Structure 1
Amino acid sequence: MDKKTFIRTAVLVVALINQVLVTTGLNPIPGSEEVWGEVISSAITIGAAVWAWFKNNYVTATGKKQKEVLDRNGLTK
């Protein structure tokens, strides 16, 4: 896993943990309950999921081979 993939995955895991805790009635992020209610927590989780998994993560063996070919041919940013 490259650094960016790790960061996106970590943010998603934290957002999912937060979502579960808010859903069960706990408030892990400091602030008022009204501000960090289920709506905002859900929006953060959805945003993190979109950011994390709609990127080219290259986490499988096939994906890593694709990344190597792209890098070798100068086709990545």
Structure 2
Amino acid sequence: MNVKATEKISAGTIARFVLLALALVNQALTIVGHSPIPVDEDGVQQFISLAFTGATSLWAYWKNNDVTKKARTKGE
């Protein structure tokens, strides 16, 4: 009988998903006019929010995030 071993989701994968979720919430709040990052100038706030969202999205996309059980299975 061939038993497949699965790994747990790594802490790095969880951290990337949490940061991506925070970036998306921050972006949504900025779009509707709230100020999640206390900056006086609108242009600076929008740039920081966009940069945070963009960097987090690229980081989460670039890393190999083994989320599904099949992807975390070792062996065959």
TM-score, structure 2 as length reference: 0.75
Where does the alignment leave 5 or more consecutive residues of structure 1 unmatched?
A: 70-77
Alignment equivalent of 1:21, drawn from 22, 29, 34: 29
Greater C-alpha Rg: 2
The residue type paired with residue 68 of structure 2 is T
Structure 2 segments unaligned to the other structure (5+ residues): 1-8
**Structural RMSD (CA):** 1.5
Higher helix share: 1
Show structure 1 runs of 4+ deviating over 6 A. Answer: none
In the alignment, the residues of structure 2 paired with residue 33 and residue 62 of structure 1 have an alpha-carbon distance, to the nearest angstrom, of 47
Identical pairs, percent: 38
**Counterpart of 1:36?**
45
Distance 2:57 2:11 in 1: 17
Q: CA deviation at 1:16?
A: 0.2
